[in-house]
Structure 1
Amino acid sequence: MKYPNNIIEVGALLPDYMGFIFWKKSARYFDGDIPNLPPSIKKVGVFVNETVENIIEKVQKHDLQAVQLHGKESVEFCLNLKTELKNLKQVQIEIIKVFSVADDFDFSVLAPFEAVCNYFLFDTKGKLPGGNGTTFDWKVLENYPSTKPFFLSGGIGIDEMDAVNEILKTNLPVYAIDVNSKFELEPGLKNVQLCKDALQRIVTN
């Protein structure tokens, strides 16, 4: 999300999470102030190979409830960040670690991260760290060896909602559906009606 009025409009739909990208190279880079949102919405700061200090600064400035790491952050980095965030607030700030998935993705790389993040996020491997607008072959998730809940991401649009609902019927621990570029009028500006349609079409337990 990027534009205040649009943030408020989408916020009125009560999504569980709302993301704000703090990577300066992104067309969706956010450098404003987040408007007041319903308290049920968790504000997520999205970072790419950022320092712990700068992440903490953004968490404090914007009162973020979650941090999404979209770069090549190590297990040690995540542990350090987890420790600093725990010292920052009594309320737990969620850490979401992103992995870019291709058909040959090696799920064994996930194991060391299980103890240092709350969720994984699986996105499509592409030229950019996110926002590529393409899906990966979700069949590779049949090899998922963990019980760690994850966000499903990567080019999900309204046309993918039926397929999303099918994967939600499986035993995979899908925690959330992450949507972005296919719901945009331009980078960072969401089509509110499409977002509403998607929320109505997702089958929730």
Structure 2
Amino acid sequence: MKYPDNIIEVGSFLPDYMGFIFWEKSARYFDGIIPNLPKSIKKTGVFVNETIEIIIEKVQKHDLQAVQLHGKESVEFCLNLKSQLAADIEIIKVFSVADDFDFSVLTPFENACDYFLFDTKGKLPGGNGTTFDWKVLENYPSTKPFFLSGGIGIDEIDAVNEIIKTNLPVYAIDVNSKFEIEPGLKNVQLCKDALQRIVAN
């Protein structure tokens, strides 16, 4: 999210999370002030290979409830960050998935983050607008809940709901580029339709 009026409009539908990208190279880079939102919405800062000091600064400045790490952050980095954040601030570690994804890379991160997020491996760290082959998730070896991301649009909601109905620990659905009018500006009606159609798990 990027624009105050748009943030408030989408926030009126009470999504569980709302993301703000603090990576300066992104077209969705957020450098404003987050308007007042309902308390139930977890404001989430998205970072790419950022320093712990900057992450903590942004968490405090914007009163963030979650941090999404979208770069090549190590296990040690995640544990160090976790030790310096308040206990109730969630850490979401992103992994870019291709058809041959090796799930064993997740094991060291089990105790270093609260959730995994699986996005499509692409040229950019997120926002590529393409899905990966979700069948690869059948090999998911963990019980840790995860966010499903990567090119999810309104046309993918039925397929998403089928995954939610499986035994996979799908915790949340992360949508972005396919719900945009332009980078950072969401189509309000599409967002509302998606929230109404996604099956609660």
TM-score, normalised by the number of residues in structure 2: 0.99
User: Could you tell me which amino acid in structure 1 is paired with residue 21 of structure 2?
Assistant: I
Kindly report which structure 2 residues correspond to 1:155-174, keeping only aligned pairs within 5 A, or say none: 155-174=151-170
Structure 2 unaligned segments of length 5 or more: list them: none
Deviation per CA, 1:25-49, whole angstroms, max 9, x where unpaired? 0000000000000000000000000
Distance 1:202 1:69 in 2: 25
> Is the partner of 1:104 in helix, strand or coil?
coil
What is aligned with 1:127? 123
Shift of 1:204: 1.1
The Cα RMSD (Å) is: 0.6
Partner of 1:83: 83
Q: What is the rounded CA distance, in whole Å, between the counterparts of 1:203 and 1:80 in structure 2?
A: 35
Q: Deviations over 1:34-79 (max 9, x none)?
A: 0000000000000000000000000000000000000000000000
2:26 equivalent to 1:26: yes
Q: How far 1:130 moved relative to its partner?
A: 0.1
Structure 1 residue corresponding to 2:150, chosen from 150, 154, 164: 154
Match of 1:144 among 140, 143, 150: 140
Which 4+ residue blocks in structure 1 deviate beyond 3 angstroms? Answer: none
Between the aligned residues of both structures, percent identity stands at 89
Amino acid corresponding to residue 185 of structure 1 in structure 2? I
Equivalent AA in structure 2 for residue 83 of structure 1: S
Q: TM-score, normalised by structure 1?
A: 0.97
Query: Is 1:35–2:6 an aligned residue pair?
Result: no
Q: Distance in 2 between matches of 1:117 and 1:197?
A: 31
Deviations 1:79-116 (A, max 9, x none): 0000010xxx3x51000000000000000000000001
Residue type at the aligned position of 1:93: I
Q: How many corresponding residue pairs?
A: 201
In the TM superposition, residue 17 of structure 1 has moved relative to its aligned partner by 0.1
1:177 alignment counterpart: 173
Please name the residue that 1:51 is paired with: 51
- Secondary structure at the aligned position of 1:76 is classed as helix
Aligned amino acid, residue 95 of structure 1: I
Query: Is residue 2:199 matched to residue 1:203?
Result: yes
2: distance between equivalents of 1:204 and 1:63? Answer: 27
